């Protein structure tokens, strides 16, 4: 474990010692039997993580590179793509489609709201020749999860559209059975719910997605078809970040040992403890209860108290690092990552630090109400 500060931002997250140690194994050639064994182990465990029988890849790039990779392998100039925009990362997804020469059909929502299947259906039916629905499953900027994703999968299937999902801040922390929900391409990153260091993007590809990829004018470094042909001999086209591949292998083994169901439950209970504590302290989560994320807790800063000061006191006095708001909510909200190794211990330390920092800054609340609310949730 990181013995310095407790890193409670929505990625990177705290990394277990086992995963850190895995990175100092001796270097190997990426054209060797040892690498091929590592590649095969990663492939098997990524299939478990994504709950897919389809193809899976680990890419040497951060999450944004993963999103750019899947967009540039599926969008040709002029292609129409439906994108609900409800925060910073869905805006970025739209921007990546524009840079490819694609035509985003934007469905705008207030920041803090979740896109509904109904609105997406309307947009799909109102336009001809749409190629795909591209959606952020968990908006890290607002702490909103798209609970309608299974229905959106059905809409994509009924209309023969590709469903492309950015699950960067949620895969491994909450339910996302890629095959069962009809997700054609799903992308995530190593540094969030997987409790691995930053530097890798992971994605899955369905049979339907391959048909589209084959007809797309693909980039060179990010050519998924080239990744597929190298994967047939358990290799990557170019030199991968081998220490990070070792780390990911260990992180995925830990996930398998715990089991996805238990992992999702742990994230859910910790998130409920955070929301209970926040509300008990008189603070307000940004999203409505039904669409609150179990991996990114977003709440409004208290009136009259500077969010940056809260973060500074939490960090300097209590050793806990949380994030400020993102994009246009930068000064209005605070965000906590409830990801990866999160347990009762990290949750209570964070709530305690938040409560102390607020009291130190003159916030008017009864001392201990937040921590008591969180503890009650764990005792249930
Ligand atoms: C939903 C979402 N998409 C994409 C990204 C970009 O990931 P990275 O910072 O690894 O490039 C993030 C990072 O926070 C994210 O939360």
Ligand 1 pocket, residue 189 CB under 6 Å: yes
pLDDT the model gives residue 380: 86
pTM reported for the whole predicted model: 0.97
The CATH class of the 17-258 domain is: alpha beta
| Ligand 1 pocket mutation pick from 7, 9, 11 by most atoms within 8 angstroms of CB | 11
Distance, CA 171 to ligand 1 centroid (Å)?
A: 12
Ligand 1 pocket, residue 144 CB under 6 Å: no
Ligand 1 pocket, residue 143 CB under 6 Å: no
Distance, CA 169 to ligand 1 centroid (Å)?
A: 7
Structure tokens at 139: 């908006």
The separation between the first and the last C-alpha atoms of the chain, rounded to the nearest angstrom, is: 28
**How big is the CA angle at 129 (ends 125 and 134), to the nearest 5 degrees?**
75
Ligand 1 pocket, residue 169 CB under 6 Å: yes
Atom of ligand 1 nearest to the CA of 167: 1
Residue 169 contacts residue 138 (beta carbons within 8 Å)? yes
Sheet holding 80-85, edge to edge: 55-60, 200-205, 185-189, 162-166, 130-136, 80-85, 103-108
pLDDT the model gives residue 1: 45
Ligand 1 pocket, residue 68 CB under 6 Å: no
As a CATH number, domain 6-10+259-379 is 3.90.1150.10
- Domain extent listing, the chain: 6-10+259-379, 17-258
Atom of ligand 1 nearest to the CA of 10: 14
Atom 1 of ligand 1, residue of closest alpha carbon: 168
Atom of ligand 1 nearest to the CA of 191: 10
Distance, CA 203 to ligand 1 centroid (Å)?
A: 13
Kindly list the averaged pLDDT for each block of 10 residues, start to end, along the chain of length 380.
79 97 98 98 98 98 98 98 98 98 98 98 96 98 98 98 98 98 98 98 98 98 98 98 98 98 98 98 98 98 96 98 97 98 98 98 94 96
Atom of ligand 1 nearest to the CA of 140: 16
Cα–Cα separations (whole angstroms), residue 161 to 79, 92, 146, 173: 12, 21, 18, 27
Atom of ligand 1 nearest to the CA of 137: 1
pLDDT the model gives residue 3: 55
pLDDT the model gives residue 192: 98
Distance, CA 64 to ligand 1 centroid (Å)?
A: 6
Pairing of strands 80-85, 103-108: parallel
């Amino acid at each position: 474990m990181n013995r310095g500060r407790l890193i409670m931002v929505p990625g990177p997250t705290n990394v277990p010692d086992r995963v850190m140690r895995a990175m100092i194994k001796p270097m190997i050639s990426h054209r060797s039997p040892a690498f091929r064994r590592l590649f095969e182990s990663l492939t098997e465990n990524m299939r478990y993580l994504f709950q897919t029988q389809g193809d899976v890849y680990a890419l040497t790039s951060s999450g944004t590179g993963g999103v750019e990779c899947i967009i540039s392998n599926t969008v040709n100039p002029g292609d129409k793509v439906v994108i609900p925009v409800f925060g910073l990362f869905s805006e970025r997804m739209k921007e990546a489609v524009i840079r490819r020469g694609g035509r985003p059909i934007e469905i705008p929502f207030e920041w803090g709201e979740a896109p509904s299947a109904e609105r997406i259906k309307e947009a799909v039916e109102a336009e001809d020749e749409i190629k795909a629905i591209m959606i952020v499953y968990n908006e890290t900027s607002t702490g909103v999860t798209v609970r309608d994703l299974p229905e959106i999968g059905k809409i994509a299937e009924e209309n023969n559209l590709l469903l492309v999902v950015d699950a960067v801040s949620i895969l491994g922390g909450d339910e996302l059975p890629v095959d069962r929900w009809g997700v054609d391409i799903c992308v995530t990153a190593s540094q969030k719910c997987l409790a691995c260091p930053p530097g890798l993007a992971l994605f899955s590809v369905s049979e339907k997605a391959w048909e589209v990829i084959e007809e797309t004018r693909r980039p060179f470094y990010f050519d998924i078809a080239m990744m597929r042909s190298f994967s047939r001999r358990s290799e990557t086209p170019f030199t991968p970040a081998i220490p990070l591949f070792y780390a990911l292998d260990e992180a995925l083994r830990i996930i398998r040992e715990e089991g996805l169901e238990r992992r999702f439950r742990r994230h859910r209970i910790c998130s409920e403890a955070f929301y209970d504590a926040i509300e008990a302290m008189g603070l307000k989560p940004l999203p409505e209860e039904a669409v609150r994320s179990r991996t990114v807790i977003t709440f409004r800063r208290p009136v009259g108290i500077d969010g940056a000061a809260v973060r500074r006191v939490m960090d300097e006095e209590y050793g806990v690092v949380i994030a400020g708001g993102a994009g246009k909510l930068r000064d209005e909200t605070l965000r906590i990552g409830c990801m990866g190794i999160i347990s009762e211990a990290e949750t209570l330390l964070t709530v305690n630090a938040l409560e102390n920092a607020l009291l130190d800054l003159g916030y008017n609340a009864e001392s201990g109400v937040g921590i008591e609310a969180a503890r009650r949730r764990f005792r249930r």
